[in-house]
Structure 1
Amino acid sequence: MTSSPLGATLAGCAALLLWAFLALLARLAQPLPPLLLTGLAFLVGGALGLAVVAARGRLGTLRQPVLVWLHGVGGLAGYHALYFAALALAPPVEANLLNYTWPLLIVLLAGPIRGLRLGPRRLAGVGLGAAGAVLLLAGGAQGSFGGGAFAGYAAALGAGLTWALYSVLAGTPRLAGAPTEAVAGFCLASALVALLGHALLEPPAWPGPAQWLAVLLLGAGPVGAAFFLWDIGMKRGDPRLLGTLAYGTPVASTLLLVAAGEGRLGGTVLAAAALVLGGGALAATARAESPAAGTR
């Protein structure tokens, strides 16, 4: 386990880098149903994590209170199911940017939930991010705002809200003491919940060879190692720096999607990305205590 503040902060930076590939790998796994994709990715990530925990002789850390399990599984499984659904139902670039309103939602929710002061700078940042989301919705996402696309946009915003609540609640006294190793258990439980949901709610499906590669990469990185790295960074590193750097993730993620031919950078998308990124940077550089701990 990383102990020095610098090493822990670098671990958090590695998590941000892995998350930049989340949208691209999820698109490469299409057309797998969202719950199936969520379950398989978490199964891979949880199994790898459990192997590391077992090798370290730390299996006892999986014994956590029910509230900790509900928070971990609900946040991980709920967020990724909504996020993968958004990428499947809406244009990926727009859905990806709407999902990445979560850093701004964390700023907004940190006040009432964790008692952190929201000054004018942070509120202005939230306003800019909200304007970016409204611009995307008003622009109609490449002219197809309706039907399945509307459901995809709703899922993207729901994903952002889910991760913001998960992140802010993680810093509360009843949840902050959970050890990093417990994440392996959360991943495996999330896999079980998602796969059960797939069996009950989605048509039967199974990955092909190319989809399996995407699933394995997802489970090893963005839906696996990244959770452990981020937990280390938040608990032992500099959360202010990591919170600021997190606002660059949606830009990197969007550029990767475009480079892979999964979208295009039209004027509306560029303007919306600038508003979301600018709002996040403005909120992150406010002088008051940072609410970044626990962000995703």
Structure 2
Amino acid sequence: MSKNTYTAIGFIAVLLWALLALFTVGSAPVPAFQLNAICFAIGGGIGVVWLLATGNVGQLKTVPLHVYVIGTLGLFGYHFLYFSALRLAPAAEAGLIAYLWPLLIVLFSGLLPGETLRRGHIIGGLIGFAGAALIVAKGANFNADALPGYGLAFLCALTWSGYSVISRSFGAVHTASVVVFCLATAVLSGIAHVGLETTVWPETTLGWLSIIGLGVGPVGIAFFVWDVGVKQGDIQLLGVASYAAPVLSTFALVVCGIAEPTWVLFAAAALITAGAALAAKASA
């Protein structure tokens, strides 16, 4: 397959992450780490079925231990830091800081062997961030008392961007490794849930369906296709294109009647499209 095809596969993750907010709303009132444990268990289970069906179970033995450690820290670390940031800072402000990760991917990718970071990538990333900022942080009001939460949100952005860029250097490692990342993250999330939360189960069929949807898509298949994209595709373009997730997520909420369409939504979409186009031109 061509590099463009691998990039398109990676972008499937962005499309799936656009459903994260919708399904998360539907999964209420299940607490965050409990939800994380269930969803990653589903995603890891799907991965196990895939490995058995394709005969790739043996690939797990070829993966170095440090790759498993880095992958698990990437998936669990991102979610742990994100949820912790939301406990200590307002959601809009923490979400905006955490969403620096696409721009950081673009910048960090310039350190990778064989990658060229062009001005168009940087400008496109900044324009994309401006678009995401319109969606994520409208009405945000930064508060000095929430500085610890802002710090955790920034660590969250560093964790996911670092994981994604480091994954690029593990291009020879089979995507089967993501199965272990997901299952290990499910276990660690379960431990965090027991220590920090009170167990609450879904109250309706819609709640259970939302959790299954999360486990299959945004917290399941998404991490497998993202692994393929960042290893074999255009990582700079994927970084900028990732800013489409919050806009598409808001569109999904509008379509389902949970949010109202506003000029902010369309302005953000225009900015992110322009940023992605500029990055694509730079890659070309």
TM range (shorter): 0.7 to 0.9
- TM-superposed deviation, 1:106: 0.8
Deviates more, 1:50-59 or 1:244-253: 244-253
Match of 2:164 in 1: 167
Match of 2:216 in 1: 220
Match of 1:52 in 2: 50
Aligned pair in 2 of structure 1 residues 139, 187: CA closer, same or farther (>3 Å)? Answer: closer
Aligned pair in 2 of structure 1 residues 257, 150: CA closer, same or farther (>3 Å)? Answer: farther
Q: Deviations over 1:102-147 (max 9, x none)?
A: 3222111112455744333233234334555666788533xx6559
Tell me how far apart the structure 2 counterparts of residues 252 and 20 of structure 1 sit (CA, whole Å).
5
Match of 2:75 in 1: 76
Aligned pair in 2 of structure 1 residues 228, 287: CA closer, same or farther (>3 Å)? Answer: closer
AA matched with 2:195: L
Match of 2:281 in 1: 285
AA matched with 1:197: A
Tell me how far apart the structure 1 counterparts of residues 57 and 223 of structure 2 sit (CA, whole Å).
17
Check whether the contact 2:13–2:222 (CA below 8 A) recurs between aligned residues. Answer: yes
AA matched with 1:182: S
Match of 1:26 in 2: 24
Structure 2, unmatched stretches of 5+, are: none
Aligned pair in 2 of structure 1 residues 15, 112: CA closer, same or farther (>3 Å)? Answer: closer
Aligned pair in 2 of structure 1 residues 90, 274: CA closer, same or farther (>3 Å)? Answer: farther
- TM-superposed deviation, 1:59: 1.9
Aligned pair in 2 of structure 1 residues 168, 276: CA closer, same or farther (>3 Å)? Answer: same
Q: Deviations over 1:204-233 (max 9, x none)?
A: 333333322211111111211222233344
Of 182, 185, 188, the match for 2:183: 188
Structure 1, unmatched stretches of 5+, are: 289-296
Tell me how far apart the structure 1 counterparts of residues 74 and 150 of structure 2 sit (CA, whole Å).
19
AA matched with 2:167: A
Match of 2:194 in 1: 199
* TM-score (norm. length: structure 1): 0.75
- The total of aligned residue pairs comes to 281
AA matched with 2:166: L
Aligned pair in 2 of structure 1 residues 15, 197: CA closer, same or farther (>3 Å)? Answer: same
AA matched with 1:36: Q
Match of 1:62 in 2: 60
Tell me how far apart the structure 2 counterparts of residues 276 and 83 of structure 1 sit (CA, whole Å).
23
Aligned pair in 2 of structure 1 residues 231, 113: CA closer, same or farther (>3 Å)? Answer: closer
Tell me how far apart the structure 2 counterparts of residues 153 and 220 of structure 1 sit (CA, whole Å).
30
Match of 2:225 in 1: 229
Tell me how far apart the structure 1 counterparts of residues 13 and 188 of structure 2 sit (CA, whole Å).
24
Q: Tell me the SS of whatever aligns to 2:174.
A: coil
In the alignment, structure 1 residue 43 sits paired with structure 2 residue 41: yes
Check whether the contact 1:15–1:229 (CA below 8 A) recurs between aligned residues. Answer: yes
Match of 1:122 in 2: 121
Q: Deviations over 1:140-173 (max 9, x none)?
A: 33xx65599988776665544322111111112x
* TM-score (norm. length: structure 2): 0.77
Aligned pair in 2 of structure 1 residues 6, 165: CA closer, same or farther (>3 Å)? Answer: closer
